[in-house]
Structure formats: structure tokens, C-alpha cells
Structure 1
Amino acid sequence: MLRLRLMLAALVFISCSAMAETPAKILKTPISLLNGDTITLEEYQGKKPVYLKFWASWCQPCLKEMPHFQESQEKYGDQIKIISINIGINDTIEDMNKVALKYGLTMDSAYDSDGEVAQAFKFIGTPYHLLFDRHMNLVHRGHKADESLENKLQLLASQSDTEHASHAVFSEEEQALDLPIHAPQPTAIYFTSTWCDWYLKDTRPEVSENCSRSQVEFNKLVRKYDSVNWVLVVSRLWTAQSDLDDYVQKYDIPIKGLIDTSNKAFVNYNVKHYPTLIVFKGGKEVHRTLDLTRDSQLADMLESL
């Protein structure tokens, strides 16, 4: 009888250890595919592993990895659910489809139009690989299509167990920025990144140029309209405090910048293009522009505030 109880206890332990440690919020996060379907990790729990790859069409490392990504689909697509997720930042579905056509991508694809998927999965920079076993335990998280990722794919495709990665990243909650949109005076928030002016120079030259000239124009507006509460917010993607400090110095920006470490400000205000300037009055958005130098209404609007 004692031996039987011990065996049952061991089976319960094994069963529990196989259960997903991944938070329910992650398992239930909807991923909208371009074919019109909406799926979640929960649907594949107990059935097959899932491989998510976040990318952008202007991300050079992402494009270099695309042959490997398609290769993975062809080798493991029957055993592993593979999903391509474009982050939707300075990108369109048309841009996404061009890449898919160029590299012959055949896996299911999603376009993260509102940033909710990236937010849920703690996306911090492209390319971003997440691999979950069939119990939806995280077994790989990284930025490279390297030997480690390939080994994990092979193991999961053969239904072999592999070591779990830490799920703590999905539970971490960074403090949201306290932005003064309800201040007595009008507030203008300039959303940008510390790298869009140089990193996108080759792949998105028009965006790169706009990032640079709009930042210069923003500085002029800050100095001219002192009745407006100006705020500079930069994306957390590939950005540390030292990057922000260098950026502020590079453009001689007259105000202190903030890093949206939680990414909640970019998601809450649906900022999917760098740069974006949003003007608030009485807590309500009254103007939004993606190009400060070519917006003919911006100066008149600021004068009227």
C-alpha cells in the first residue's frame, strides 16, 4: 500500500511538473492571423509545441534569418506550430507580404496592429524568438536563430523533453510612465526612438530622414511655445539610459527624455510609427502628426492653444 501511494504521488508530481508555468494571461492572449483566424497558445496546450518569431521588414538581422525560419517551417511544421508575427512598427501589411513573397514564407502570419501581442509576450527587440513545449512551458527566448534554438526545435519536434526557461519575464511589471495629459496647460508628447534616425537609414531612408528633421523641429517648438508642457518619450526597444543620454546630447534636446520601460504609453496611445507627436488639451487628444515639418496645421494649432 505504501509503495502504491508513493507511485501515485510520483505520478502527480510528474503531471504537475508537465503543466504550464506560463501565466494564464500569456496562454489566453489572442493572436490574429492574416487569414482571419484568431488563435491562442492555450489551444495548442497538450497538443503540440509553438514557435513564435517577432520581426520587422526593416530589421536586417530579421531578414538574414528568414531562410532559416522557412526552413524550420518545412522541417518541423507538422510537429510544431510556427507563427510569424510582424510587430507593426513603421511597417505595413504590404511590407510584410513583400518579405513573405521574397523568402517564400508559408507559416501562419500575424500583424500586431495595436502592439498588444508584443506587450503580452514582453517583446524587447527584433528578431525575437519564443519557443514553448507542448505543455506551453517556455523553453527558449532569444534574439538569434542559433544552434541553441535549432537544438530545441529538434528536441520538441521529436517529442523529447527539454529544460524550461524562466517564466519570470512574463510576470515582471515595469512601472508605467505618469504622463501629464491632464495638466492645466496643454501637453505635447513626442514619441520616438533613439535609433530610428540611423538604424533605418538604409532600409527606411524616408523614415530615417523624418526622425532626424522632426527631432530638430521638436526642439524648435519646445523653445518657442513655453506655454505648452512638452514631453519626450522614447521606445524601450534596444534602448538603455546611456542610449537616451547620448541621443539627447546628439540633438541638443532642451528637455529631459523618458524611456517607456513598460511600453504601456506606446500601446495605450496606439503609437506605431516613429516619430509621432500627440497634443492633449484637457486630457483629450486634439492633434496627432507623424511629420512635424510637413504638418501645415501644427503651428496654427499650437498658436491657438
Structure 2
Amino acid sequence: MMKFKYIKLLWVFLYFSSSQHLLANESNLVLKNQQGELFELNKIVGKKPVYLKFWATWCKPCMEQMPHFQQAYEQYGDTIDTIAINIDLNDDPTAVAAVKKEFNLTMPIMSDHTAKVAQHYQFIGTPFHVLLDKTGKVIFQGHEADKALDNTVRLLSHDGVVAKPRLLDEGNKQAATALVIPEFGLKAILYTATWCDWYLADTRPKMATNCAAAQKQINLLTNQGIDTEARVSQLWTDQAAVDEYIEKFKVIHPVYIDHGNDLFIDNKISSVPTLVIYKNGHMVNRISDFTSPVNLQSK
């Protein structure tokens, strides 16, 4: 139950602030549409209000909010540019298309295939709503489909600006621990999530089983004397979640949160778990299927 309480806390952890000024008119903020074509956000930002919703097909509250999202698009789509952004983590186009059909979604649906758009908007968990005014300034961030979101959307639809931003707290931002790759020998890095073995158990049982198997196998590699560590996604995660994960799996190697999502982006991690193997300072293998034992001694 503590895990679900933690997620709920993330949804409600909002506060009023007028000191943040995120702008989105950067050339590297690129999404991919369902036809595989690239779309630059700066084509629409700064012209009229923009509503971005980050979601995943395996995210239960995302699915619960889809009717609300479609209704908002139908009501305000003419005055507010709206995009449904799949975060492209443990997801695929077939699952996205199924959600589109199930909820009769008619807004543009795109994927954050580089994860850089989510990073820019300080994404920490799905569902995640981001509203920009007509100047390109971010004036709302939140997780719930509530009155605060509805009121902000309504105000934006009238004149394109909102006097008082409502943004997530940035006060607890942390820097990620630097990753050190040795010049000689083997190094194994497991990219995973503290929640993937239990949260995906109902919606993606094979993925959940694979997550648990990965951690158990990395423990075995550590016992063999191989230099191992885990980098966990910042999604839905804090140090308390990491500590619980370590205790649950009796982890015997270092575990670090990838604050800022830089390593996940740099290594193009689009699914968890993924094991990245280095030898003598060079990446030599990536493993994402842990149904069979991992043997690195011959690498």
C-alpha cells in the first residue's frame, strides 16, 4: 500500500509559483507521430496556447483520465493546440493504437522517442499535464485531471494567458551520480525501475516478471565479482522507493536514481529492464530478455 500512497503523493504535490519560466521554443524538442514523421514543437509553441499530456498505455490513471482528455480536446481544440505524448517506455505503436481506438481519441498522438521533451518539462510521473500560454511560457504542471487543470485550460482558451502559474515544486531537484566506466575489465549497468515488477504485474505481466528476473540475475553477476550497478528511472521514484527496492530484492550492488533522465536518454533506453555491458571502456552488449541466465564471464 505504501507504493500506491507514494504515487498518490506525486499526483497531489503541486504548489503555486510565479518564479519559474520554462520556455519550449528549442529546436531539439522533437516528437514522432503515428506515421513515423518527426514534428518540432517550436512550430506551434509561442503562437497560441498548447496542452501537452504525457502518458503510457500501461499507466492505469492515464487510462482513467482519457475520457476527460478527449472531452477537453473537443471543447477547446480550436483555441488550444493539444498533443497526447506517449512517453515511449515499455510501450509500442500497437498498444498506442489500441488506446486510441478504445477511447475514440481524435487529438494528435505522438511519441517522445528521444525522451528529451519529457526531460525538458521536468516530467516525473504519468499522467503529466503541461500547459503553455500563447507566449510559450509554461504556466501549469500537474498529474490530476482536476478543477485546477480545467480552470487553467478554460482561462487559456479565452485570451491565451494566465496571471498566476501553477507549477510543480523544483526545490528538491538533485544531480545524478556520475557514471564511471572503467578503462579495463567488465562493467554491467542495469537500467530498470523500482516499480516495474509490481506496477506492471496486471497490465504487462511478462514485463513485470522480466524486471524481477533481471535484478535477481544481476545479484548473481555481482556475486561472481563483476562490477555491477543499477540506474533506476526517476519516474515515480525517490530514495525511499529505492531503499524499499533494495530490501525487496536483497540488492548487493549500488543503486542510483537517474535524476534528470540523462543516462536513460544518452543510452537510448526505451524499455526496462535493459542491461548494458562494457568491456575495456567500450559498450559491447545490451540485454533486455532475462528469461535465460546472463553469463558475462566469456565476454
Q: Bin the TM-score by the shorter chain.
A: 0.7 to 0.9
Stretch of structure 1 that moved more, 157-166 or 247-256: 157-166
Contact 2:116 2:265 in 1 (8 A): yes
Q: CA 1:201–1:31 in structure 2 vs 1: closer, same or farther (change >3 Å)?
A: same
Q: CA 1:135–1:242 in structure 2 vs 1: closer, same or farther (change >3 Å)?
A: same
Q: CA 1:94–1:131 in structure 2 vs 1: closer, same or farther (change >3 Å)?
A: same
- Distance in 2 (CA, whole Å) between partners of 1:168 and 1:211 is 30
Q: TM-score, with normalisation over the residues of structure 2?
A: 0.86
- Distance in 1 (CA, whole Å) between partners of 2:32 and 2:257 is 28
- Distance in 2 (CA, whole Å) between partners of 1:191 and 1:76 is 39
1:205-258 deviations in Å (ceiling 9; x for gaps): 1111111122112211211x20x2111111111111111011101111112211
Q: Does 1:113 align with 2:106?
A: no
The amino acid across from 2:101 in the alignment is: L
Secondary structure of 1:263's match?
Answer: helix
Q: CA 1:26–1:142 in structure 2 vs 1: closer, same or farther (change >3 Å)?
A: farther
- Distance in 1 (CA, whole Å) between partners of 2:114 and 2:41 is 19
Among candidates 262, 274, 278, match of residue 276 of structure 2? 278
Match in the other structure for 1:49: 49
**Identity %, equivalent residues:** 37
- Distance in 2 (CA, whole Å) between partners of 1:253 and 1:186 is 19
Contact 1:194 1:244 in 2 (8 A): yes
The amino acid across from 2:78 in the alignment is: D
Q: Does 1:81 align with 2:77?
A: no
The alpha carbon displacement at 1:284 in A equals 1.6
- Distance in 1 (CA, whole Å) between partners of 2:242 and 2:68 is 33
The alpha carbon displacement at 1:37 in A equals 5.0
Match in the other structure for 2:244: 246
- Distance in 1 (CA, whole Å) between partners of 2:140 and 2:125 is 15
Contact 2:197 2:212 in 1 (8 A): yes
1:145-187 deviations in Å (ceiling 9; x for gaps): 11111111111112264224278979x9853432222342210
Matches within 5 A, 1:1-305: 21-23=21-23, 26=26, 29-35=29-35, 38-159=38-159, 161-165=161-165, 174-223=174-223, 225-226=224-225, 228-294=226-292, 298-299=294-295, 302-305=296-299
Contact 1:41 1:136 in 2 (8 A): no
- Distance in 1 (CA, whole Å) between partners of 2:214 and 2:114 is 23
Flag structure 2 segments of 5+ consecutive residues without an equivalent. 1-19
Contact 2:191 2:232 in 1 (8 A): yes
- Distance in 2 (CA, whole Å) between partners of 1:90 and 1:44 is 28
- Distance in 2 (CA, whole Å) between partners of 1:25 and 1:53 is 18
Secondary structure of 2:297's match?
Answer: helix
Contact 2:134 2:160 in 1 (8 A): no
Match in the other structure for 2:17: none
Q: State the structure with more CA Rg.
A: 1
The amino acid across from 1:97 in the alignment is: A
Q: CA 1:189–1:124 in structure 2 vs 1: closer, same or farther (change >3 Å)?
A: same
Contact 2:216 2:249 in 1 (8 A): yes
The amino acid across from 1:111 in the alignment is: S
Q: Which has the higher helix share?
A: 1
Match in the other structure for 2:8: none
The amino acid across from 1:74 in the alignment is: E
- Distance in 2 (CA, whole Å) between partners of 1:113 and 1:44 is 19
The amino acid across from 2:269 in the alignment is: V
Q: TM-score, with normalisation over the residues of structure 1?
A: 0.84
1:59-81 deviations in Å (ceiling 9; x for gaps): 00000000011111111111100
Contact 1:177 1:265 in 2 (8 A): no
Contact 1:85 1:111 in 2 (8 A): yes
Q: CA 1:229–1:123 in structure 2 vs 1: closer, same or farther (change >3 Å)?
A: same
The amino acid across from 1:148 in the alignment is: A
Flag structure 1 segments of 5+ consecutive residues without an equivalent. 1-19
Match in the other structure for 2:4: none
The amino acid across from 2:70 in the alignment is: Q
